[in-house]
Amino acid sequence: MNPRRTWPAALAALALGAAVPGLARAQPSPLVARLAVENGRVLASVDLSAAFGPSLERELGNGLTNVVAVYVAVLPERGRTPALVHGRVFEILYDVWEETYAVTLKDPHVPQGVRTVVRDFATLRTLLADERSLDLGPSSLLPKEPFVVEARVELNPLSKEQLQRTREFIANPAAGTRATGGSRSVLGAVASFLLREPEPGSGVHLFRSRPFGPGELLAPR
């Protein structure tokens, strides 16, 4: 992934909006979630370790940039419209020389990302799975009726940057990954213009918590 890419808040909101409706399409796994209200904001802590099994060590340590997108939303128990949402993206690059994981966490509050270096997979897994104090938004937006917390984890979703790079590639395949290349292909240029985002593929994990009552929110610890 290109570490210089930006993360406009609007793009994040769009990603969330696109992602959350997808929650309804598959049978979700149980989600252990804890909600708290602090300074009028709803903070969620969820355990997503089921999405990050030990088998992921090989994939996340393959020396290529891997992306993990996590979306957490509060929805009415019998509704599909999220009342509160939060999304964040982890870009993980295993450095085969240093033998460490460089993790860049991006969310709408920090679109440029915060970089962390993790020395082993266990620590990385904890970082990814144990999502704590996610700021879902103002507590006033919480549903009055029972609600649930849903989470969606996507492993290596196709990013806008990747889509753009693919467009560049098919528009100018001779150039490949080089900065300068040969002449552009007319058919490829038109095809790149008409290239659309694919449907979300596999590598998507859905989670759904038990229903919460309006009075069940924990006080801040």
Partner 1 sequence: MSGGGERTPRAARLPGFLRVSGFEARIALALVVATTLPLVGALFLAGRLAEENLALGLDPRVLDRLSDVPALYGDLFQARKGLYAEQARALAMGLPRDRALARRYLDGAIARTPRLRRIAWLGPDGGTIAEAAARGPNPEGEFREAPARVDLPGGGRLECAFAIEARFFAELDETRELAELIQGVHALRAEIRRSYVRAFGALLVAMALAAAVIGVLLARRTTRRVGALVGAVRRLAAGDLTVQVDPGGSADEVAGLTRAFNAMVREVRESRDRIVYLEKISGWQEVARRLAHEIKNPLTPMKLAFQQLEARWGRPGPEPRDPEFTRLLAEAGEIVRDEIGTLQRLVEEFSGFAKLPEVRPEPADLGDFVEEFLRTSPDVGERADVEVVKAAAETPVALDRGLMRRVLANLCANAIDASRPERARIHLGVARTRDRAVLTVADEGPGIERALRERIFDPYFTTKDTGTGLGLAIVKKIVLQHGGEIQAGERPGGGASFSLALPVRGPGSTGSS
Residues in the site for partner 1, rule: CB under 8 A? 1, 62-65, 94, 96-97, 99, 156, 158, 162-163, 165-166, 169-170, 176-177, 186-188, 190-198, 201
Q: Which is nearer to partner 1, 111 or 169 (CB)?
A: 169
Q: Which is nearer to partner 1, 131 or 154 (CB)?
A: 154
Name which of 21 and 176 has its Cβ closer to partner 1.
Answer: 176
Task: Give 22 or 188: the residue with its C-beta nearer to partner 1.
Answer: 188
As measured in angstroms, the least distance from the Cβ of 118 to partner 1 is 16
- Shortest distance (Å) from residue 192 CB to partner 1: 7
Contacts (Cβ under 8 Å, ≥6 apart) of 210 = 30, 148
Closer to partner 1 by CB, 146 or 200: give it.
200
Residue number, 17 or 201, with CB nearest to partner 1: 201
What three-state secondary structure class fits 97?
coil
Farthest-apart Cα atoms in the chain, separation: 64
Quick one: angle between helices 186-194 and 160-171, nearest 10?
Answer: 160
Least separation in angstroms between residue 74's CB and partner 1 is: 30
Residue 53 or 176 having the CB closest to partner 1: 176
Residue ranges of E strands in the chain: 29-38, 41-47, 65-76, 84-95, 100-107, 110-118, 130-138, 147-155, 204-209
Residue (of 155, 35, 121) closest to 86 by Cα position = 35
Amino acid letter, residue 8: P
Query: DSSP per residue over 151-192, as a string?
Result: EEEEESPPPHHHHHHHHHHHHSTTTTTSSS-SPPPHHHHHHH
Buried b (16+ CB within 10 A) or exposed e, 178-190: eeeeeeeeeebee
d(CA 75, CA 81): 6
How far apart are CB 109 and partner 1 at their closest, in Å? 26
Q: How far is the CB of 33 from partner 1 (least distance, A)?
A: 30
CB of 73 to partner 1, least distance (A): 25
Q: How far is the CB of 82 from partner 1 (least distance, A)?
A: 26
Task: Please give the single-letter amino acid code of residue 2.
Answer: N
